A and B are shown apart, each in its own frame.
Chain A
Amino acid sequence: DAKTTQPNSMESNEEEPVHLPCNHSTISGTDYIHWYRQLPSQGPEYVIHGLTSNVNNRMASLAIAEDRKSSTLILHRATLRDAAVYYCILRGNQGGKLIFGQGTELSVKP
Chain B
Amino acid sequence: EAQVTQNPRYLITVTGKKLTVTCSQNMNHEYMSWYRQDPGLGLRQIYYSMNVEVTDKGDVPEGYKVSRKEKRNFPLILESPSPNQTSLYFCASSPPPGGVYEQYFGPGTRLTVT
Q: Which residues of A line the B interface, CB within 8 A?
A: 30-32, 34, 36, 42-46, 49, 51, 87, 90-103
Q: Is the contact region of chain A dominated by helix, strand, or loop, or is it mixed?
A: loop
Q: Is A46 within 8 A of B103, CB to CB?
A: yes
Q: Is A43 within 8 A of B105, CB to CB?
A: yes
Q: Does B25 contact A (CB under 8 A)?
A: no
Contact residue among A45, A95, A103 (Cβ-Cβ distance under 8 Å from B101): A95
In chain B between 7 and 61, which residues have their CB closer than 8 angstroms to a CB of chain A? 31, 33, 35, 40-45, 48, 50, 56, 58-59
Complex Cα distance A94/B92, Å?
16
- How many contacts A-B (CB < 8 Å)? 78
Contact residue among B41, B43, B59, B107 (Cβ-Cβ distance under 8 Å from A42): B107
Which 6 residue pairs of A and B lie closest in terms of their CB atoms, listed nearest first?
A32-B99, A95-B97, A43-B105, A100-B43, A102-B42, A46-B102
With A96-B48, A96-B56, A99-B59 in contact, is A44–B99 under 8 Å at CB? no
Q: Does B74 contact A (CB under 8 A)?
A: no
Q: Which residues of B line the A interface, CB within 8 A?
A: 4, 31, 33, 35, 40-45, 48, 50, 56, 58-59, 90, 92, 94, 96-108
Complex A-B: 6 CB contacts under 8 Å: A43-B105, A44-B90, A90-B99, A91-B98, A95-B94, A102-B40
Closest Cβ–Cβ distance, residue A56 to chain B (whole Å): 16
On chain A, the residues within 8 Å of B41 by CB distance are 102
Q: Is A100 within 8 A of B42, CB to CB?
A: yes
Q: Is A97 within 8 A of B98, CB to CB?
A: no
On chain B, the residues within 8 Å of A31 by CB distance are 99
